[in-house]
């Protein structure tokens, strides 16, 4: 893809300072940009790079004041970071259009009862079970496995080696990254005599609403009965574990290596950091924020912000941590006081 600085400025409702005809072929960081690339400057700590960058053009905010002239073309916009994000989205979409494959690969194994919408792409070695439905614009990349009675709605994309087991429902405009598993058995075992365990059948399903993105190697278990539910617009990072009968509210985001145990309910618009553990059968309200590496063992009301294990209000956590850091000094002082008695 090739654009000039003037074309980019018009797309971003900006203005050009310098050579408006300079050609842009790639996007890059300002530190390691090369000729023909466009970068951005959104934080003053990167200002020293502006005079040294090899980028052919740099996005900067309208309010950025420069003491010295620079050798690169500047594209001034209202918000350089937001504008660069828009450009990344556009660049990505154009790249996909150029690289997009079409049709059904000859090696795909598709049950005759499967219903396929228009413009569906099915890649090499994909397997699709009986009575499943793929609506228009769905893209299934290589080596994915789709079970029986699965529904995948419009314009959803499955990256390579995604596994979607029986009776799972996936909404429209979703993205499932490589290695995602939906509908695996929940961790249900009933203790028996002689320390044995009896496997509890998992007869429910998984429902993924619209505009959900699920990171690589994340798992969402099917419910014992009913459904494990991932709400509208939820974003799950890589290596997240969602257990059986969990419900995640709309537009909640969860970072990597977090686990939510069975039957817990997480509200809408929550922000959950990495390596968080949430025990089963809890209720977390809307707008909850959980800092990384927190262990949640009790309900959290709407708007709660917690940290630590077990989780407490984050302000209380930092007060306690300030004392905790001083314990060696306090212990030494106490020992000296006892010695002086």
What confidence score (pLDDT) does residue 38 get? 94
Alpha-carbon distance of 167 to 203, in angstroms, equals: 10
What confidence score (pLDDT) does residue 321 get? 82
What confidence score (pLDDT) does residue 80 get? 92
Which residue is listed with tokens 């044995």? 196
Q: Is the pLDDT of residue 21 over 80?
A: yes
Better-predicted residue by pLDDT, 3 or 132: 132
Rg (C-alpha) for the chain, rounded Å, is 26
CATH of the domain at 47: 3.40.1390.10
Alpha-carbon distance of 284 to 304, in angstroms, equals: 9
Residue 198 lies in a domain: yes
Are residues 256 and 313 both part of a single domain?
Answer: yes
Q: What is the mean pLDDT of the chain?
A: 93
Q: Which of 119, 127, 128 is nearest to 101 (CA)?
A: 119
What confidence score (pLDDT) does residue 39 get? 93
Are residues 84 and 209 both part of a single domain?
Answer: no
- Could you say which DSSP state residue 300 is in? B
Q: Is the pLDDT of residue 232 over 70?
A: yes
Residue 269 lies in a domain: yes
Residue 189, domain extent? 109-317
Are residues 95 and 136 both part of a single domain?
Answer: no
Q: How confident is the model at residue 51 (pLDDT cuts 50, 70, 90)?
A: confident
Q: Is the pLDDT of residue 223 over 90?
A: yes
Most trustworthy range by pLDDT among 45-54, 55-64, 179-188: 179-188
Q: What is the mean pLDDT of residues 200-206?
A: 96
CATH of the domain at 307: 2.160.10.10
Angle between the N-to-C axes of helices 314-325 and 327-339, in degrees from 0 to 180, rounded to the nearest 10: 40
As beta bridge partners, residue 75 has 16, 59
Assess whether 244 carries a catalytic annotation: yes
What confidence score (pLDDT) does residue 338 get? 81
What confidence score (pLDDT) does residue 82 get? 93
What confidence score (pLDDT) does residue 93 get? 82
What confidence score (pLDDT) does residue 324 get? 80
What confidence score (pLDDT) does residue 99 get? 65
Q: What is the mean pLDDT of residues 206-235?
A: 98
What confidence score (pLDDT) does residue 323 get? 83
Catalytic residue, chosen from 43, 244, 251, 281, is 244
Q: What is the mean pLDDT of residues 14-42?
A: 92
Interior/surface letters 319-337, b for 16+ CB within 10 angstroms, e for the rest: eeeeeeeeeeeeeeeeeee
Are residues 307 and 232 both part of a single domain?
Answer: yes
Q: What is the mean pLDDT of residues 251-265?
A: 98
Q: Which of 39, 49, 44 is nearest to 70 (CA)?
A: 49
Q: What is the mean pLDDT of residues 135-158?
A: 97
How does pLDDT run across 293-334, given as a tens digit for each residue?
Answer: 999 999 999 999 999 999 999 889 988 888 888 888 888 888
DSSP strand pairing (139-140 vs 121-122): parallel
**Number of structural domains found in the chain:** 2
Are residues 189 and 57 both part of a single domain?
Answer: no
- Could you say which DSSP state residue 340 is in? T
Residue 259 lies in a domain: yes
């Amino acid at each position: 893809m090739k654009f000039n600085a003037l074309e980019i400025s018009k797309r971003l409702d900006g203005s050009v300072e310098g050579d408006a005809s300079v050609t842009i072929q790639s996007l890059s960081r300002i530190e390691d940009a090369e000729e023909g690339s466009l970068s951005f400057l959104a934080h003053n700590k990167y200002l020293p790079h502006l005079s040294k960058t090899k980028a052919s053009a740099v996005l900067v905010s309208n309010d950025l004041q420069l003491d010295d002239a620079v050798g690169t073309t500047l594209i001034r916009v209202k918000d350089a970071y937001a504008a660069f994000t828009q450009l990344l989205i556009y660049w990505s979409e154009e790249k996909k259009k150029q690289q997009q494959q079409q049709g059904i690969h000859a090696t795909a194994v598709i049950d005759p009862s499967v219903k396929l919408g228009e413009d569906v792409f099915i890649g090499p070695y994909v397997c699709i079970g009986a009575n499943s439905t793929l609506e228009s614009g769905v893209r299934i990349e290589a080596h994915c496995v789709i079970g029986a009675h699965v529904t995948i709605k419009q314009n959803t994309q499955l990256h390579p080696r995604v596994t979607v087991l029986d009776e799972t429902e996936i909404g429209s405009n979703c993205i499932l990254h490589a290695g995602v598993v939906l509908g695996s058995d929940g961790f249900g075992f009933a203790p028996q005599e002689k320390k044995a365990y009896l496997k509890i059948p998992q007869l429910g399903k998984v429902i993924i609403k619209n505009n959900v993105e699920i990171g690589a190697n994340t798992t969402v278990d099917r419910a014992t009965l009913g459904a494990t539910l991932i709400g509208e617009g939820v974003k799950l990072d890589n290596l997240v574990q969602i257990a059986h009968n969990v419900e995640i509210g709309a537009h909640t985001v969860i970072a990597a290596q977090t686990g939510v145990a069975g039957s817990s309910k997480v509200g809408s618009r929550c922000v959950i950091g990495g390596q968080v553990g949430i025990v089963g059968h809890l209720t977390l309200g809307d707008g909850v924020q959980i800092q990384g590496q927190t262990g949640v063992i009790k309900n959290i009301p709407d708007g709660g912000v917690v940290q630590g294990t077990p989780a407490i209000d984050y302000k209380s956590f930092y007060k306690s941590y300030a004392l905790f850091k001083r314990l060696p000094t306090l212990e030494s002082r106490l020992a000296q006081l006892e010695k002086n008695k």
